[in-house]
């Protein structure tokens, strides 16, 4: 029996796609990476994933796990490989509000989990622009970050246990919900962020947090990024560390947003060069319950800090949302980032991180040094300033492919100089393998390669990704 026949036998013929039926599984969502899989398998259960992996292992066929397929680094590129789609494993197996956990399968869409948690007065705080399409399998596979890492951590910090199908088809079960479990090596965090190169994550136990009873959300214009950090530190002190999001948008971001979305309104009457979206979440009733005047304390905290800083000339302008609609408008501006990034045409996207107090240096040098190489280059920047993560996008005036490596190397040189990382939250996939080869500690690369060879000796798990 041939490989495809065996797959049909294992999971049902209608769930194994070949030829033209594979449309929709032949590209990432940006369209940058195009490929033609050998076949697409759409298993519905862990047992079926295991059967698929046993078949692939016996046939020596490469397998590319695919969940929401919203990654930016080509991690799902599956030319001549089996694309293993986890879309049908989309059950939220349980939400246990008392224990503040959700048990979910890899195909659950991120916003579906958000809604299920909110229905219980809880939040799964990880969020980013693609939340309506991204699925938990990809969130785990890439150790996704996003806008709320500052308060809640990245995916690893929000995951208590996982279930993984190994290349051999064996099922690793660490679906623990424990806060303390020192029974051997930390396999969970090894598989999280390994981008499907070590196994297929099929389910997870995720942590939920209490939904803040009130938010204070605003847009703030500052004279420079040092002013932005000053604002962050003052707000953290005033609220006891309740800042949920702290997002930087330079003037050109606001311009691009207004040009792209005709219904959008500018955040301020005047145009400012340095704009920050801030959100603080009140979890204690004391900070969330309106006073006699109807003022919500957490909003008053934010306004108090902003007032002081306006007085001192450290804040140029500020608006604070007075309704959920106004809060939504502020978030929509930030969440347009991915769309705006690709609207400007061929782009070189560097997703990097540096220590918080070096973001300003990074941008100054990035603009100057890339412009020296391509004087006609335009820039599109947005930053999770609260965690030091900068999405630095260059639209070259010349052929993008020709300039790609040169621009990346310029950016990576600056990042290395500032003690940062060439990959903050998008992962490596195909797109950053050259950067891995150039920049990653050589000893670390050797250890990663040894682990890969030990856990996937045939090299069938997402071949050619992550490791150079």
In the region spanning residues 206 to 225, those forming contacts with a second copy, defined by CB under 8 A, are 210
Q: Which of residues 260 and 286 has its CB atom nearest to a second copy in the complex?
A: 286
Q: Within a 13 Å sphere around the CA of 360, how many CA atoms are in the beta-carbon half?
A: 11
Q: Which is nearer to a second copy, 1 or 443 (CB)?
A: 443
- Please report the sign of the dihedral spanned by the C-alpha atoms of residue 432, residue 463, residue 46, residue 49: positive
Among 26, 79, 120, 189, which residue sits at the site for a second copy (rule: CB under 8 A)? 189
Tokens in use for 384? 């999770």
Count of helices and strands (H, E) across the chain: 16, 18
Give the range of 25-33, 74-82, 185-193, 370-378 binding a second copy by CB under 8 A: 185-193
Closest alpha carbon to 136 in 117, 111, 119: 111
| Per-residue DSSP letter, 269 | S
Q: At its nearest, how many Å lie between a second copy and the CB of residue 268?
A: 29
Q: Which of residues 122-141 bind a second copy (CB under 8 A)?
A: none
Ranges within 225-244 binding a second copy (CB under 8 A):
236-242
Q: Which is nearer to a second copy, 329 or 409 (CB)?
A: 409
Give whichever of 90 and 389 is closer to a second copy, judged by the CB atom. 389
Q: How many whole angstroms separate alpha carbon 329 and alpha carbon 263? A: 11
| Beta-bridge partner residues of 209 | 123
Give least dist CB 449 to a second copy, A.
Answer: 9
Please say whether the beta carbons of 74 and 430 come within 8 A: yes
Task: State yes or no: residue 117 binds a second copy (CB under 8 A).
Answer: no
Pick the binder of a second copy from 27, 45, 112, 176 (CB under 8 A): 176
Contacts by 126-130 with C-beta closer than 8 Å and gap 24+?
126/152, 126/154, 126/155, 126/158, 129/335, 129/336, 129/337, 129/338, 129/339, 130/29, 130/68, 130/70, 130/338
The CA distance from 211 to 124, in Å, is 9
Residue 91 CB, nearest approach to a second copy (Å): 20
Rounded CA gap, 203 and 276, in Å?
Answer: 36
* 153 contributes a contact to a second copy by CB under 8 A: yes
For a second copy, which residue of 132, 265, 355, 372 counts as binding (CB under 8 A)?
355
Angle between helices 46-59 and 3-11 (to 10 degrees): 170
- Binder among 308, 357, 405, 417 for a second copy (CB under 8 A): 357
| # residues near a second copy by CB under 8 A | 87
* 180 binds a second copy, rule: CB under 8 A: yes
Nearest to 360 by CA among 378, 340, 377, 381: 381
Of the ranges 22-30, 164-172, 217-225, 245-253, which one interacts with a second copy (CB under 8 A)? Answer: 164-172
Contact 101, 205 (CB under 8 A): yes
Shortest reach from residue 225's CB to a second copy, in Å: 14
Residues between 415 and 454 that touch a second copy (CB under 8 A): 419-428, 436, 439-441, 443-448, 450-451, 453-454
Backbone dihedral angles phi then psi of residue 17, each to the nearest 5 degrees: -105, 145
**What DSSP designation does 392 have?**
E
Residue 263 Cβ, how far from a second copy at the closest point, in Å? Answer: 32
C-beta of 440: minimal distance to a second copy in Å? 6
Site string for a second copy, 36-75 (x = CB under 8 A): ----------------------------------------
Cβ contact 262:311 at 8 Å: no
The contact mask relative to a second copy for 288-327 (x = CB under 8 A, - = no) is: ---------x---x--------------------------
């Amino acid at each position: 029996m041939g490989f495809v026949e065996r797959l049909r036998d294992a999971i049902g013929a209608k769930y194994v796609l070949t030829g033209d039926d594979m449309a929709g599984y032949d590209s990432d969502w940006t369209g940058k990476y195009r490929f033609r899989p050998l076949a697409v398998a759409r298993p519905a259960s862990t047992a079926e994933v295991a059967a698929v992996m046993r078949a692939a292992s016996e046939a020596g066929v490469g397998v590319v796990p695919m969940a929401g397929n919203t990654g930016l680094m080509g991690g799902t590129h599956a030319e001549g490989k089996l694309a293993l789609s986890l879309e049908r494993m989309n059950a939220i197996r349980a939400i246990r509000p008392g224990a503040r956990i959700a048990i979910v399968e890899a195909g659950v869409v991120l916003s579906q989990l958000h809604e299920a948690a909110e229905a219980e007065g809880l939040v799964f705080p990880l969020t980013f622009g693609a939340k309506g399409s991204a699925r938990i399998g990809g969130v785990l596979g890439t150790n996704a970050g996003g806008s709320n890492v500052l308060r809640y951590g990245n995916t690893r910090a929000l995951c208590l246990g996982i279930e993984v199908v190994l290349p051999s088809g064996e099922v690793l079960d660490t679906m623990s919900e424990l806060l303390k479990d020192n029974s051997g090596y930390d396999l969970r965090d090894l598989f999280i962020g390994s981008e499907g190169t070590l196994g297929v994550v099929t389910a997870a136990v995720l942590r939920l947090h209490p939904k803040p009873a009130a938010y204070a959300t605003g847009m703030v214009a500052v004279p420079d990024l040092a002013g932005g950090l000053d604002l962050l530190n003052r707000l953290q002190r005033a609220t006891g560390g309740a800042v949920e999001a702290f997002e930087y948008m330079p003037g050109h971001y606001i311009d691009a947003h207004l040009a792209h979305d005709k219904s959008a309104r500018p955040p301020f009457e005047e145009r400012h060069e340095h704009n920050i979206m801030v959100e603080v979440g009140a979890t204690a009733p004391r900070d969330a319950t309106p006073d006699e005047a109807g003022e919500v304390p957490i909003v008053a905290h934010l306004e108090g800090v902003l007032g002081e800083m306006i007085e001192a000339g450290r804040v140029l302008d500020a608006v604070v949302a007075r309704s959920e609609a106004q809060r939504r408008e502020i978030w929509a501006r930030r969440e347009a980032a991915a769309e705006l990034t690709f609207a400007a045409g061929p782009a070189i996207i560097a997703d990097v991180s540096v220590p918080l107090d070096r973001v300003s240096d990074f941008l100054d040098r990035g603009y100057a040094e890339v412009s020296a190489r391509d004087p006609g280059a335009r820039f599109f920047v947005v930053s999770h300033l609260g965690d030091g993560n900068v999405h630095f996008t260059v639209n070259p005036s010349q052929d993008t492919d020709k300039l790609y490596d040169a621009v990346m190397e310029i950016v990576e040189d600056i990042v290395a100089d500032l003690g940062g990382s060439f990959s903050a939250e998008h992962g490596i996939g195909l797109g950053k393998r050259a950067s891995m080869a150039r920049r990653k500690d050589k000893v670390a690369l050797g250890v990663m390669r040894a682990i890969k060879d030990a856990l996937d000796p045939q090299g069938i798990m997402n071949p050619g990704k992550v490791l150079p």
